[in-house]
Chain A
């Protein structure tokens, strides 16, 4: 559980270096599962048999280009063939259509990276785009989903647009991808949305100059059932009362404000110390 502010030059391989250093080297739950590719491409596994429910998912990361990384989510992986082991449909390889795979902008303007045992958040400071990869939190301390709830909320081919993925959470052409590995009923690749999706009245500033920070619930677009909560994320949609990189301290927690540079200022808060 760490919050890092740093930069790289945005070239090929830099995102893999970051995952190796900030996830694999730090957490026993994260590992490199398949490195048998030509260059700048790896599969990471997040596996936690002690979690309830068990966490087990695979990220295929293609980082052989500058400015962005491609990232795909699967429920299994075959090291021998370097491909998806058994296609159950439980995968996230595109958003609105096959033309729009999940991308994460990784420009040279710096980044924030928040690491955790079962998820990570990458914020590109050039476009102020926040991406969420990994597990949702349970609905409450005693009520949980019957199986792991893994989501990918990222940008896509429009990664340079400044369309903040977490704050828009919309499978809209190249702007963002928001899907679950498995949704309700165990169906794969389900569209997910945040509570109060696209509501234009999500004000968050309080009369004492602070803000309300409720971790945003995520629901399955088909069934409308809540799958869990984003870990330390507050979705604001287009409520935009701060400037990117502002922060609010509530009790001992720092929440970083991220507002995409796109014309409509889609914003969210990221809790730094999860």
Chain B
């Protein structure tokens, strides 16, 4: 696993050059699969046959502050088109992953977490810590088209604002809504009487079956409420340093991501 702090210019193509090509594909399980998917657009593959992980991330980076993301089951690098199933939309809304200016990029073999100083947004692409590791179930947790900046990892699926989607659930259903354990609870507290904090990787369940598919890998959902956090606070815990952010909306929706 690796955590890298990246400076990203507010310009088209800057996420591809500064994050995807400079950081993410340094991990052997991630590669650039189609470098000619369009102007400022590339496709990246996450592949680990031994762990039943195989998915493609189409990145359209023609915007200053965000990339349009699509998750694909397969990709035709000659035709430059997706193959099979996809999460290209959440409802009618395209997936917009914001990362600009200072951004933590936390990559491991199967997922990426983006935590950006700009509006304090945390996003997640890739696998959960899956209950059943024979199932390929990549997820997208990130923003959509709304201009209200709720923190995606701290909030949950909601209209045009945020998507929590799995390309497949455990029985192969496509583009399924997922939710964190404790959804919409204001009673997810993390500070102890000893002045320490406990961040637990959050269970994630399929909204249709209500069955838990796995846990957020290095992320803890905390939702809103009086948490005594500050945006951008880094808290040292027994299992490493955690970055806490709550978005820039007046009501903060908190989550913590482990910086390792």
Contact = CB atoms under 8 A, between A and B. Distances in A.
Interface string B177-203: 001011111011111111010101001
Interface of B is mostly: loop
Interface in B144-178: 169-170
B248 to A, nearest CB: 23
B189 A195 contact: yes
B182 A226 contact: no
Given A206-B131, A207-B211, A224-B226, A144 B185 contact: no
A37 interface: no
A203 B210 contact: yes
B192 A204 contact: no
Contacts, number: 100
Contact of B212 (A198, A212, A223): A212
A151 B227 CA distance: 23
A100 B210 CA distance: 36
B interface residue count range (under 10 / 10 to 19 / 20 to 34 / 35 or more): 20 to 34
B184 A199 contact: yes
Interface in B107-162: 131-132, 135
A217 interface: yes
Given A139-B192, A145-B193, A201 B212 contact: no
A146 interface: yes
A139 B194 contact: yes
Nearest to B210: A203
Interface string B211-225: 111000000000000
Given A196-B185, A203-B212, A206-B212, A142 B238 contact: yes
A205 B182 contact: no
B187 A201 contact: no
A184 B192 CA distance: 9
Contacts of B33: none
Q: Which of B183, B194, B228 has the most CB of A within 10 A?
A: B194
B131 A207 contact: yes
Contacts of A212: 181, 203, 212
A233 B228 CA distance: 27
A257 interface: no
Contacts of B181: 196, 201-203, 212
Nearest to B196: A143
Contacts of A196: 181-182, 185, 187-188
B187 A195 contact: yes
Contacts of B5: none
A201 B192 contact: no
Contacts of B182: 195-196, 199, 201-202
Contacts of A197: 185, 187
Contacts of B47: none
29 contacts: A139-B198, A140-B198, A140-B238, A145-B193, A145-B194, A149-B193, A195-B182, A195-B188, A196-B182, A196-B188, A197-B187, A198-B187, A199-B185, A201-B183, A201-B185, A202-B182, A203-B203, A203-B205, A203-B212, A205-B210, A205-B212, A207-B206, A207-B212, A208-B131, A212-B212, A223-B193, A224-B227, A225-B192, A226-B198
Interface of B: 131-132, 135, 169-170, 179, 181-185, 187-194, 196, 198, 200, 203, 205-206, 209-213, 226-228, 238
Given A142-B238, A201-B183, A203-B212, 19 more contacts: A139-B192, A139-B196, A143-B192, A143-B194, A146-B193, A195-B188, A195-B189, A197-B185, A197-B187, A199-B183, A199-B184, A203-B203, A206-B211, A207-B170, A207-B213, A212-B181, A219-B187, A219-B189, A223-B193
